[in-house]
Structure 1
Amino acid sequence: MSQSIASHPDRLLPADPGTRSIARSLLERVQDLPIISPHGHVDAAVIEHNTAFPDPAALLVSPDHYVTRLIHASGVDQDLLRPQTGAKGDPNAVPDARTVWREFCKAWPLFEGTASGYWLRTQFQSVFGLREEPDAGNPDASYDAISARLQEPGFRPRELFKDFNIEVLATTDDPLDSLSSHQAIAADPSFHGRVLPTFRPDQYLNIAHPQWQDNVERLIAAAGDGGTGYGAYITALENRRRYFVDNGAVSADHGVRTPRTLKLSDSEAARLFDTARSGKATAQDREDFEAHMMYQMARMSVEDGLVMTIHPGSFRNHHEPTFNTYGADSGHDIPFAIDYTEAVRPLLQDFGAAKDFHLVLFTMDETVFSRELAPLAGFYPSVFLGAPWWFLDAPDAMLRFRSAVTETAGFSRSSGFIDDTRAFCSIPARHDASRRIEASFLARLVAEHRVTEERAHELIVDIVDGSPRRVFKL
């Protein structure tokens, strides 16, 4: 039965029996280590309030763009993948959550061989305890089984946080967020994990963002120094970063179109800032200002200690009709080729060797793994390799990453696994997959007599546990 795939002890391990035996031993060394998740998108309020999860469709289908995009590609209308209540709140409007789940079950065969299929299959068995996988023949039975599980008193975020063996979970937060949920969690003596905020200023730096002007006005009013111009804007960003640090943040994350950086004089930056506020900025002005602000974010990280992570290379909202109807993060963000070497040079000229500055570079363009990222991380003390991200956080892609970067940068220059997920229940499946891939890669090196088995055991512990603690200053 396909169900056995999710529980097979050798899943994702090498096919060769000798190498597999080595990988089993390595995996056993790290299988029970706590989960360190230094970058993700789970809402801290979910942990604070500890409320029951919603229905199966709202939990596992509708918010997961990995899932909805592939079903949509098969010809299913996106309206059928999101529960509706009708324009006037009609509870009988179609589709309801059960109807969405039926569409997912019909589409389940589409996920064979995909990373989403692997994570979901693992969740169905290890988290929800399903005896049979969802399919077109049992949608109501699987819906009812998961729904019953979701209503169990022990199936709440805080209990699962402990059951999943999560030690650190970082969220992604707006610079003007009060961080009240983080404060409440930190002050609760009954909660023993760490839920850390992450400073995410994209919509305050990117002039092209439709709410940029309003965001900037709110930012300056809330955290500026009483001024109204570029200087007050910079001061406000610095003040909010310090507020995040005071509330436990260890990193600032930047979802930019490209990794370009640019060092402008204060007068030129102020001119671009004023031009943008007047609504007269050109496309080049927008690109230059965002690139300059990435340089400024690095400067601030050197000063306040926040780890700087860069997530570039996604053509956001590729299909305008879908964006207009469903908004962002609805499955149609598409990767494109990027250039890192020249793009980050202005930043690295000034901060590449700065004491205690950590810059974690991610990519969805795997052609830069060995050509640019590994050489950068292999020279600059500040640069670390972000784990395979988004379309690349899949078993074969993670193996390609290790093969591409290790010969130049070794193991010590990588960030450790980053799950980057909103899907709380998928976190253990994602980290388990990463640990199995690391065991597989190291086992091959041992089998080829390139690394001793004793050293491989030390390396895998450092990859899984040491690297994320070291790189994210935990």
Structure 2
Amino acid sequence: MTQSAHLHPDRLFPASEPSRGVARELYPAVRDLPIVSPHGHTDPSWFADNQRFSDPAALFLTPDHYVLRLLRSRGLSYDDLGVPRKDGKPVADGRAAWRLFAANYHLFAGTPSKLWVDHSLQFVFGINDELSPVTADAIYDTIAQKLATPELLPRAILDRSNVEVIATTEFALDPLLHHQKMAADGYIGRVRTTYRPDDVTDPSRPAIVDNLKRFAELTGEDVATWAGLINAHRKRREVFRSFGAVATDHGVPSAMTADLPLVEKQALLDKVLAGRHDAADAELFRAQMMTEMALLSVEDGMVMQMHAGSRRNTDPLLMAERGTDLGADIPGTTDYVNGLRALLGRCGNEPNLRLIMFVLDETTYARELAPMAGYWPSLMIGPPWWFHDSPQGIRRYLDQVVETAGFYNLAGFNDDTRALLSIPARHDVWRREVCGFLGRWVGEHRLSRSSAEEIAKHLSYQAAKDAYRIK
């Protein structure tokens, strides 16, 4: 008999009564709320072109670095998993890659990836059988058949998942052609862009000089002057807002910020443009740009997101063969109190600034981030991110931040995903964990039942809309 992957209705709820009973009662109030996905990395061409996904591997496997990295850890080849190469050499086709994925699906026991894949198979395709070598072809064929139907086109998936709004993320130099196409055909408002200027704010990037030249051409500004550089950002932010952007996003290795005098800022820019900067200069330039981005947010009201603490692309072979965002990024320790000192000292009390911090160094939750969010009116704590976007990660997060920051200094949930079908799965895990956490507090008589339901609804839906100022 084929093992069943059917998802139990009490999954992730507390094991003991009365907490489990309260969680069961809370969950129906949040289960069907619309999904607000204000930060993520889904491909905007999916929604602009609204074409079918080519095969199950393109849906579940190749865009999901969570899945790829674990398979890589067991020695599996990215060629055999169908991940495209920069040199264009052939890789495995979809079915072969899927069979390899299925043969190694047991590796995902205990990981959130298994929760997300099982949820997606059942929720979207009605598949309750466990993915395995025995079921691989049958599941592949079922998915492939349904992918050929209008109900599984990208926009229809958003409808089916009850996604109210979703944000993609584009770099400063991106021409936003896909968002232009959506605007032209009237598909606006639901899919928005996000301004991520790392391509022109991070001097550690090999192409930084060429990128800044292109930035000047794109905006008509003289980026060789500090004032011209900042005005170029001002113009690009305005363009992004015209395509629905409500936020900026910054992927930085540390939380370091700076507030230098103009003469020092210009001297730093001169070094970067001349290609004479070293690693310390690159860190200082990024630090100054974080403060500049905060000041621009004070002007235009865009919510600023900082994703700090990831040491990216640590496998040079993978980077050379296939590029970024394929699983070789590793968390590092981060100092938020000292790192954010310059930015918060300059504009942390400005009422128009909203800074959402995403944390990979969990040791900072209770020690730094919760006390900071519990004081600074401009600062909110983002949900567990990346390696901690999991049932246990959510539990650790809530345990460490709520008593100091409260529930209403949290930015709700966003899925930060490249895998479209994992969006409803990830939000469901968050909502179940919120209900379980609140159920335990009601069971301990720390919250009333009515307050718990109000908070559950807030954290599952309204918190993200409020944090990102989505109307």
Q: Shorter-normalised TM-score: what interval?
A: over 0.9
Which is worse superposed, 428-437 or 264-273?
264-273
Gaps of 5+ in 1: none
1:99 equivalenced with 2:74 (yes/no): no
Which amino acid in 2 is paired with 1:211?
A
Give a deviation string over 1:97-147, Cα, whole Å, max 9, x none: 211111101110000110001100111111122242220223222221211
Structure 1 counterpart of 2:72:
72
Distance 1:336 1:172, change over 3 A: same
Structure 2 counterpart of 1:328:
324
Which amino acid in 2 is paired with 1:144?
D
Structure 1 counterpart of 2:439:
443
Q: Aligned equivalents of 1:84 and 1:45: distance in 2? A: 18
Which amino acid in 2 is paired with 1:150?
L
Structure 1 counterpart of 2:108:
111
Distance 1:85 1:408, change over 3 A: closer
Count of residues paired in the alignment: 470
Counterpart selection for 1:140 from 137, 140, 145: 137
Distance 1:419 1:83, change over 3 A: closer
Contact 2:297 2:303 in 1 (8 A): yes
State the shift of 1:88 in Å: 7.9
Q: Whose RCO is larger (CA < 8 A, sep 6+)?
A: 2
Runs of 4 or more off by more than 6 Å in structure 1? 84-89
C-alpha RMSD over aligned residues? 1.9
State the shift of 1:223 in Å: 0.7
Contact 1:23 1:443 in 2 (8 A): yes
Distance 1:337 1:227, change over 3 A: closer
Contact 1:85 1:96 in 2 (8 A): no
State the shift of 1:45 in Å: 2.1
State the shift of 1:86 in Å: 12
Contact 2:35 2:165 in 1 (8 A): yes
Q: Aligned equivalents of 2:2 and 2:317: distance in 1? A: 37
1:126 equivalenced with 2:127 (yes/no): no
Which amino acid in 2 is paired with 1:233?
L
Give a deviation string over 1:226-276, Cα, whole Å, max 9, x none: 564333222111111111123221000000010100011121111111111
Give a deviation string over 1:263-318, Cα, whole Å, max 9, x none: 11121111111111111112111111110011101111111110000001111111
State the shift of 1:160 in Å: 1.1
Query: Given the two structures, how large is their TM-score scaled by the length of structure 2?
Result: 0.96
Identity %: 42
Distance 1:176 1:142, change over 3 A: same
Query: Given the two structures, how large is their TM-score scaled by the length of structure 1?
Result: 0.95
State the shift of 1:4 in Å: 5.2
Q: Aligned equivalents of 1:329 and 1:473: distance in 2? A: 28
Q: Aligned equivalents of 1:240 and 1:378: distance in 2? A: 33
Question: Which residues in structure 2 correspond to 1:163-312 (within 5 Å)?
Answer: 163-186=160-183, 188-189=185-186, 191=187, 194-226=190-222, 228-312=224-308
1:384 equivalenced with 2:380 (yes/no): yes
Contact 1:182 1:197 in 2 (8 A): yes
Give a deviation string over 1:352-401, Cα, whole Å, max 9, x none: 11012100001111100000000000000000001000000000110110
Contact 1:173 1:197 in 2 (8 A): yes
Which is worse superposed, 128-137 or 24-33?
128-137
Which is worse superposed, 413-422 or 96-105?
96-105
Contact 2:411 2:467 in 1 (8 A): yes
Gaps of 5+ in 2: none
Structure 2 counterpart of 1:429:
425
Q: Aligned equivalents of 1:275 and 1:170: distance in 2? A: 35
Question: Which residues in structure 2 correspond to 1:408-427 (within 5 Å)?
Answer: 408-427=404-423
